[in-house]
Structure 1
Amino acid sequence: MSHFRLLLTFAALSLAAPAAARLGEERGITEGLINVGIAFEISEVCPTIDARRLRGLRYLLALRSAASDLGYSRAEIEAFIDDDAEKDRLEAIARDRLARLGAPRGDVTAHCAVGRAEVARDSQVGRLLAPR
């Protein structure tokens, strides 16, 4: 999910080694990043579903604020986002979740179906998507 890596890099712009490991244990932060990655991937694969980019940006800013509220500095947050091992870990989780939801990598029809289901159930992923 190369787009997921791009998204995490962007999050660092809008959003320390030991601190990065601790931040990676903050479930609310990591779940939020995984959800954004899933929504972004669905919007990239499915031609009939767009990403709600402004809503996604606001959500990423909220995650940054939440990390800051938890006591992490901007430098710690950026170090976490830049951590290649964390990117790999979050990417693997996002891919696994998409597959478990019924959308294996590259399956356009399945990505569209999962995206529409997420929108219908008003999940965090669904709120980041805009079916056409």
Structure 2
Amino acid sequence: MRAMTMTMALILSLTAGIASAKPHLRDVPEIDGTILAIGIADEIRKHCPSISARMFRALSVANGLKARARNLGYSDEEIDAYRKSDAERERLKAKRRAYLKQGGVTAGQPASYCVLGREEIKKGGQIGALLRMN
């Protein structure tokens, strides 16, 4: 009976550790998706002369992300490791390129960025909220 109690206690302690393990920040949609949106908005504003960034809003969103990650239990070290990771940057760049391509953007054609930018502003979603017409 004692061995069974000890076995159950061990199993419970191991499963509790597994259940409380945090996913990588890239797997937290509200964090990763918002970083992706900021990157897409930045690409649009860099390549479309008639659209600019809402810089204060972008900074506010970025600062809010760090606070949100902290509230989810991530340490500053975990947040910075994700933010500074070359692999994560490349992964997000690939997702950004795919989104832009799907949105009709052609590299080297500023007008295509402007079309997508205007659509995003009109939709009023996460990307459009970070942009404004000049």
TM band (smaller chain): 0.7 to 0.9
Offset at 1:101? 0.8
Aligned to 2:132, the other structure's residue is in SS state strand
1:78-112: CA deviation from partner (whole Å, max 9, x where unpaired): 01111110000011001100110111322211100
Alpha-carbon distance between aligned partners in 2 of 1:91 and 1:71, rounded to the nearest angstrom: 26
Partner in structure 1 of residue 32 of structure 2: 30
Please list every run of 5 or more consecutive structure 2 residues that lacks an aligned counterpart in the other structure.
Answer: 1-20
Give the structure-1-normalised TM-score.
0.82
Partner in structure 2 of residue 102 of structure 1: 104
Alpha-carbon distance between aligned partners in 1 of 2:116 and 2:41, rounded to the nearest angstrom: 10
Identity %: 37
Give the structure-2-normalised TM-score.
0.81
Q: Is the 8 A contact 1:95 1:105 kept in 2?
A: no
- What letter is aligned with 1:86? E
Please list every run of 5 or more consecutive structure 1 residues that lacks an aligned counterpart in the other structure.
Answer: 1-18
Partner in structure 1 of residue 130 of structure 2: 128
Partner in structure 2 of residue 46 of structure 1: 48
The answer to whether structure 1 residue 60 and structure 2 residue 52 are counterparts is no
Alpha-carbon distance between aligned partners in 2 of 1:73 and 1:55, rounded to the nearest angstrom: 24
Alpha-carbon distance between aligned partners in 2 of 1:32 and 1:94, rounded to the nearest angstrom: 12
Return the index of the structure with the highest Cα Rg.
Answer: 2
Aligned to 1:130, the other structure's residue is in SS state strand
Q: Is the 8 A contact 1:39 1:126 kept in 2?
A: yes
Q: Is the 8 A contact 1:38 1:98 kept in 2?
A: yes
- What letter is aligned with 1:77? I
> How many residue pairs get matched?
113
